A and B are shown apart, each in its own frame.
Chain A
């Protein structure tokens, strides 16, 4: 009897034992640094004196909310993230639908479409930097051939953000394509065929059968693309460094500038905290949408 009790107690502990290592990992590498960052945002810590920061309460946040550059960077971050999601998800989904059906050369097309995802961000940024070059870039060669002249893809106030977006979409769309493709290939064929037998055309079948099935995958991909875009640094920094005239200066670029140029680690942490709140808000919206959908499906 006692042996049974002990065994039952041990069995109850097994899940905790499995959870423990990742919990320790998260505590050490995620929550502890996050807590430190939050605290640091309330201090005047400087990067060259990281352990001598003095508590300043909400002083950093007050300064931040009084700074017009903060609102510009917040707006730029939101515009960049939203457009990256719209174009990245649209292009990725269209690509997935295009290569879902078998056709000659599909493996080659799939490999080509995946190329953007496989290239490291820094390498991709440098490739695009050259393609955007005012003097020798391939885009300006094309526009010159078309007779419309040269453009300052990264140096014009109007074109810099769209140019960065194009590079970003080129990078993230293949990821969306992979996720959606996996979902597409799990759509039961018999349901599609039943719809067809019932007289549904291609578009109706897509709307009534395929889309509901792949919607969770699209939502997940959109969430990830959005969060990645909020915290994306390498592509933006390498292509424009936040310029011209601050038009591509997102929160993350401001964090780097505040921490490493101004040496204000406390202030940079405050910027980081705002970014975190933004990412959490996006996740909360996703969660709320998902809950509503589940409730609707359960009815």
Chain B
């Protein structure tokens, strides 16, 4: 009997072989099955930019008709909390588009998979350097948004104020602008602890601008260096001059800028693109310049990563492979303003002409530094809370910058 298979056994064997064959041949079987890839990003909620960014990546569905991309839109203020909780519970999106700090925390927890396959043969630029951890690629750059000084050109021209190159000049120009055009705020900047994650990243430009490193040559955290004291003193001087709209959140300040009510701000390219889109202030009337500090400032980096919990990891990596192709990067460039992308895709001349602020960001991105503290990437926010509390103490209760930073150093020494 064993040597003479029945008709049923024969048919079963044929069926198994057919299935095995179909799954081995590309284009048959799996490739035709419908797949949904969920992509989480807070930017999907941005008024105009979100729509444009989604349109850029949605083109993948034309290349891969069996794939449906699904938005997971989470407000930026809740993004880290929500994603952390979901991933911790073994759930969450297939692909997360996240700030660098969250990316490191996710990678550290083992929630991201190796996506090196997506980068094979691709000429990645330096924005992807931090996506490689201990020799494994967990992230590729989505966007890098450098910081710059932006200003309202007509307001400055009306006041005859110059574009500042020092903090003292910034204060003088901002005051001149406010005096000439009543109702205009001199300088928009984050300044409140209830916006810690945004404020500490913004403040890094001040710190780096004054030469701060946050660690010494041996990797020991040092937050009370003379450079740090100088940076805090400069911020205090700016705050005390009355040019900052105390109490306004950053979204409010950006809206005020859009409505022509702000003379200067230090913002990243993503925030500036937001200001330049769809407001009363035309993009051509926004100027961009280097920040009024001696040294280069910071950038915010956003990474793409694939979740360990995803059931469509392979398809997600294929999507990333497509995203690094020239047409996809070009499409992303159109929606990303002057943000640096994973590959070198220059800003077009037409774009630069219509958005005169953009080239300054492109230039500054060449030398900008990560907002994360090297060696303490996962703990940066925790460390910077102590620093920002010291800054807050200095600006609100007239504490001495050196004393406040010494206290922060003592607390940090205890915990790290």
Could you list which residues of chain A lie within 8 angstroms of chain B, going by C-beta atoms? 46-50, 132-135, 137, 152-157, 237-246, 257, 260-263
Chain A residues with CB under 8 Å of B106's CB are 48
Chain B residues within an 8 Å CB radius of A48: 84, 87-88, 105-106, 108-109, 111
| In the bound complex, CA of A153 to CA of B106 (Å) | 38
Q: How distant is the Cα of A132 from the Cα of B192 in the complex, in angstroms?
A: 14
Q: Do B245 and A135 touch across chains, with their CB atoms under 8 A apart?
A: yes
B392 touches A132 (CB 8 A): no
Assess A261 versus B396: contact at CB under 8 Å? Given A47-B85, A50-B88, A133-B247: no
B88 → chain A, closest Cβ, in Å?
5
B22 interfacial by beta-carbon distance below 8 Å: no
Closest 9 CB pairs of A and B: A241-B194, A243-B193, A48-B109, A134-B247, A134-B246, A50-B88, A260-B81, A262-B382, A244-B396
Report the bound CA distance from A49 to B378 in whole Å. 14
B247 and A152 contact, CB distance less than 8 A:
yes
Give the complex CA separation of A271 and B108 in angstroms.
25
Contact B84 A47 (CB under 8 A): yes
Q: Which residues of B contact A154 (CB under 8 A)?
A: 247
Given A238, A244, A262, which contacts B392 in the complex, CB threshold below 8 Å? A244
| Residue B195 interfacial (CB < 8 Å) | yes
A-B contact pairs, 10 of them (CB 8 A): A47-B85, A47-B88, A48-B87, A48-B109, A155-B192, A241-B193, A241-B196, A244-B193, A261-B385, A263-B84
CB distance from A262 to the nearest CB of B (A): 5
Please count how many residues in chain B sit with their CB below 8 Å of the partner chain's CB atoms: 31
Contact string against A for B residues 216-251, beta-carbon threshold 8 Å, 1 for contact and 0 otherwise: 000000000000000000000000000001111000
Contact mask B190-207 → A, CB, 8 Å, 1/0?
001111100000000000
Contact between B85 and A135, CB atoms less than 8 A apart? no
Interface contact A49-B88, CB-CB below 8 Å: yes
Contact of A243 among B192, B245, B378 (CB under 8 A): B192
Q: What does DSSP make chain B's interface, helix, strand, loop or mixed?
A: helix
Within 8 A of A (CB), among B238-289: 245-248
B25 within 8 A of A: no
In the assembled complex, which residues on chain A have CB atoms less than 8 Å from the CB atom of B87? 48
Asked whether B109 lies within 8 Å of A49 as measured between CB atoms, the reply is yes
- Checking B85, B196, B396 against A155 with a beta-carbon cut-off of 8 angstroms, the contacting residue is B396
CB of B382 within 8 A of CB of A134, answer: no
Q: How far is the CA of A50 from the CA of B84 in the complex (A)?
A: 10
Residues of chain A with a CB closer than 8 A to B68's CB? none
Expressed in whole angstroms, the minimum distance between the Cβ of B212 and any Cβ of chain A is: 21
Interface of A is mostly: loop
Q: Which of B385-412 contact A (CB under 8 A)?
A: 385, 389, 392-393, 396-397
Cα distance A215–B70 in the bound complex, in angstroms: 57
With A48-B105, A134-B247 given, can you name 14 additional A-B contacts, CB distance below 8 Å? A48-B87, A48-B106, A49-B88, A49-B109, A132-B247, A155-B192, A241-B196, A243-B192, A244-B396, A245-B393, A260-B84, A261-B382, A261-B385, A263-B105
Nearest-Cβ distance from residue B305 to partner chain A, whole angstroms: 13
Q: How far is the CA of A241 from the CA of B192 in the complex (A)?
A: 9
A residues near B397, Cβ cutoff 8 Å: 157, 245
Interface positions of B from 345 to 383, Cβ below 8 Å from A: 378, 381-382
Query: Are B381's CB and A261's CB within 8 A?
Result: yes
Counting chain A CB atoms within 10 Å of each CB, which of B84, B105, B195, B378 scores highest? Answer: B84
Contact B111 A237, beta carbon cutoff 8 Å: no
Bound form: Cα–Cα A257–B196 in Å? 11
B247 pairs with A246, CB closer than 8 A = no
- Which single member of B247, B381, B393 contacts A135 (CB below 8 Å)? B247
Cα A237 to Cα B193 in complex, Å, equals 11
The chain A residue with its CB closest to the CB of B195 is A241
The interface residues of chain B lying within 8 Å CB-to-CB of A238 are 194
B80 located at the interface, meaning its Cβ lies under 8 Å from any Cβ of chain A in the complex:
yes
Complex Cα–Cα for A242 and B81 (A) = 17
Nearest-CB residue, chain B, relative to A49 = B109
CA A246 – CA B392 in complex, angstroms?
Answer: 10
B105 contact set on A, CB distance < 8 A = 48, 263
Report if B89 contacts A (CB, 8 A). Answer: yes
Q: What residue of chain A has the Cβ atom nearest to residue B89's Cβ?
A: A50
Nearest residue (CB) in A for B83 is: A48
Please, how many angstroms separate the alpha-carbon atoms of A132 and B193 in the complex? 16
Min distance, Cβ B91 to any Cβ of chain A, angstroms: 12
Q: How far is the CB of B410 from chain A (nearest CB, A)?
A: 11
Interchain CB contact under 8 A, A155 and B385: no
Q: Which residues of A contact B195 (CB under 8 A)?
A: 241
Q: Shortest distance in angstroms between A152's beta carbon and chain B's nearest beta carbon?
A: 6
Q: Is the CB of B194 within 8 A of A240?
A: yes
In the complex, how many angstroms separate the beta carbon of B221 from the nearest chain A beta carbon? 15
Question: B385: which A residues are within 8 A, CB to CB?
Answer: 257, 261
Chain B positions 66 through 94: 1 when the CB is less than 8 Å from some CB of chain A, otherwise 0: 00000000000000110011011100000
The answer to whether B247 touches A242, judged by C-beta atoms less than 8 angstroms apart, is no
Give chain A residues whose Cβ lies under 8 Å from the Cβ of B248.
133-135
Contacts of A156 in B (CB 8 A): 396
In the complex, what residues of B have CB within 8 A of residue A134's CB?
245-248
Determine the residue in chain A with the shortest Cβ distance to B78: A260
Asked whether A152 and B246 contact (CB < 8 A) given A48-B105, A240-B194, A243-B194, the answer is: yes
State in angstroms the CA–CA spacing of A134 and B248 once bound together: 8
Given the complex, which residues of A lie within 8 Å of B109, measured CB to CB? 46, 48-49
**Which residues of chain B are within 8 angstroms of A157 by Cβ–Cβ distance?**
396-397
Closest to B397 in A: A157
Question: A245–B392 contact, CB under 8 A?
Answer: yes
- B84 partner residues in chain A, CB cutoff 8 A: 47-48, 260, 263
Q: How far is the CA of A244 from the CA of B193 in the complex (A)?
A: 7
A132, A245, A261: the one within 8 Å of B389 (CB): A245
**Nearest CB in chain A to that of B252: its residue:** A133
* In the bound complex, CA of A153 to CA of B192 (Å): 13
